[in-house]
Amino acid sequence: MPRLSRFAPFEIFVYCVVTLMGFAVAVTGYQHGLPFIDYPDEMTMWTRGRATIDPTWDMFQPEYPPGMVWLSAVVQQMQIAQGDPFINPAGATQIGRLTSVLAFTVTLVLLLLLARALFDEETPPFIRLTASIVAGLGWLCLPLAVRHARYAMPDCWLCMWFVASLLAAVTAWKRSSERWLWLSVVFGVLATVFKWQAAVVFAAGGVCCLRFWPDHARTLRLVLTYGVIVAAFGAWVVFGRHALEGGLYMPGTTPNVPTPFTVLDNLVYQSVDIGSGWIFGVLPLVCFLLLFVKPLRQRIHLVPLLMLPLMILALNIILSINGSRLFPRHYLPALALMAGLAGVGVGLLLAQINRISFGRTARLAVSVIVVIIVCLPLVGMARDVVNETGEQTRPDRRVLLMDWLAANARDKVTVITDVNLASAADPLYGYRGAKITTPEWGAYIPSNEVTDAMLQTENVRYLVAPAYITFDQLTTPLTPLLTNGDDATLRGETWIVYQVGDMQGLRSADAYITFGDSIQLRGFAIEPTNVCAGTDITLDLSWGAVTTPTRYYAFFLHLANDPQGELSAPINGQQPVGDSRPTITWTRADELLIADPITATIPADVPAGTYDLWLGLFEPEGTERLYLPDGKHYAVVGQIEVEAC
């Protein structure tokens, strides 16, 4: 780092404030989606990290840069060492995201220092500080950068080492320092193992070797040593890691020869479409235009400054091997350098204003206007970051589905027709709980492949689907149990859980029987209605709750008639739905809880006759009963004829 003694205390304070802001922005919402992984490539990184430490896992795309894969493997080894031998992608991804947050923050610090380092020491501190802040805020407010700071992906690591390598090269040129030159090489190697295209940063170090001219012997020694190191590393990348076998840029693609059109199109795309055109397009252009003003050109270190556009152009040439308008994240290193150029452009513009001969007040007014104009696009980008952060900090609907499945689907076959929702039932993708019963192929199946025959063959009990799926191809009845989609505080795909098959005795909402202003009996059916004493009847019961019950209630089903009165049989203290869904878990008023068919035996000593069936609810550890609005402690849910067979 530059010597702290060269920094004014106020500069250090401002840099610390901006750095803390960057960390706070990046870390807010970094847990989005967990324990389920939002970004499929995060699972790819985890899987390849697992393959690194476990040979039973398939190592696909072996030519992929290994940096993030190695990091994932180390994190997983730490998990195992800490006593977590089970597959836990969520935990590893959480740590990986935290490392991306830190890399994003370090990149921010490096950009602050890079923009400052490009000015000479005679430049007024205010101009250097303003340039640094603009460069830092360009990165801090870039939605794409903040988004990838919250992913366990290599992009922020790549940007950190890439900018660090370039800053070291700039410092090496300024100080004619071999130590900084070799440090630039080390950082360049680290950047390249995270993305192969980062190797273009070695061009900056190659330029720095010329700094020692006309000391011919020293220059020749540095050039040869530098060339051997870079060539050896390049050979390892090409022949050891097979980086070119799947295409130079993206594995599995066919490379093409870059053309002026594809390079220009990539430059325009990164400068205008991904971020603010003012910050990443206009201000870097202003920077180069002002270089034609000789007094301004003397304010900066020209060769180190020109390293930035050299790196940006080289990166876009590499990207153009696969065409133009690629995934936005592949432009992040170039965008970081564009932010640095934007800061320098603002600094040079303020320096030019300061040279104009009109009065001090007028110069100050024009400077303020320039700062305001620069701030407006930054505010717009910051607003996008805030909106995305608000989306990522909302709870995920998959977590609610996971909780529902854990409580209800442990012994009932469940099928899910959305691939993202299906992760809520898959331990590899974050599910935590008792094993969910699914068909042999797993929980996921496309909605158009759901047929009556499949439902019957697999004995499917629950079908989970996005709200827009209608299943018009089915004749099998589907009863909606729970819909999760109307709560705007949640994020992710909406879903509906259906119970498959005929549901006996369901009532309309106006016919629900409500106990204690809380628990509702929403359906009931008893078969047969003519029985012999000592034989069985079957009950189909459906429940719900207006408000969440505060106690564990049980239900009774008693026989009653005038001659015998109330008989405490055949049921007296059974869970309404089952042990996995006690009444205190009935938290959603719109959830329909359908109990498994209940078999009850009519006692053999019950006298023959006609009996009403009384159903009621009570707290089995005490004496509390739930009453109906008419004051009764039971509802008559049917009538049976007991015969003396």
3-state SS, one letter per residue, for 432-493? CCCCCCCCCCCCECCHHHCCHHHHHHCCEEEEEECCCCCCCCCCCCEEEEEEECCCCCCECC
Each residue's pLDDT tens digit, 498-539: 999 988 899 999 999 999 999 999 999 999 999 999 999 999
**Alpha-carbon 645 to chain mean position:** 66
Position 83 scores a pLDDT of: 84
Predicted local distance difference test score (pLDDT) of residue 215: 87
Predicted confidence (pLDDT) at residue 213 exceeds the cutoff of 60:
yes
Q: Residue 25: what are its φ and ψ, rounded to 5°?
A: -65, -45
Q: What percent of the chain has pLDDT over 90?
A: 75
Provide the mean pLDDT of the chain.
Answer: 91
pLDDT of the residue at 252 = 53
Q: Who has greater pLDDT, 216 or 169?
A: 169
pLDDT per residue as tens digits for the range 623-632: 789 999 999 9
Average pLDDT over residues 592-598: 93
Could you give the CA distance from residue 51 to residue 327 in angstroms, rounded to a whole number?
Answer: 26
Compute the distance between CA of residue 642 and CA of residue 524 in angstroms, rounded to an integer. Answer: 19
Task: Specify the pLDDT at position 302.
Answer: 93
In order of 265, 515, 520, 642, the CA distances from 627 in angstroms are 73, 5, 11, 28
Q: Which two tokens stand for residue 239?
A: 């022949």
CATH number of the domain at 509-643, please?
2.60.40.770
Residue carrying structure tokens 């020293």: 218
Could you tell me whether strands 530-532 and 635-643 are parallel, antiparallel, or unpaired per DSSP bridges?
parallel
pLDDT above 70 covers a percentage of the chain that reads 97
Confidence of residue 254 (pLDDT cuts 50, 70, 90): low
Give the span between the Cα atoms of 251 and 519, in whole angstroms.
Answer: 58
Where are the chain's structural domains? 4-392, 399-500, 509-643
pLDDT-derived band at 489, boundaries 50, 70, 90 = confident
Coil, helix or strand for 234? helix
Residue 246: what pLDDT? 59
Supply the DSSP string of 248-260, one letter for each residue: SSSTT-------H
Q: Tell me: the pLDDT tens digits for 15-30?
A: 999 999 999 999 999 9
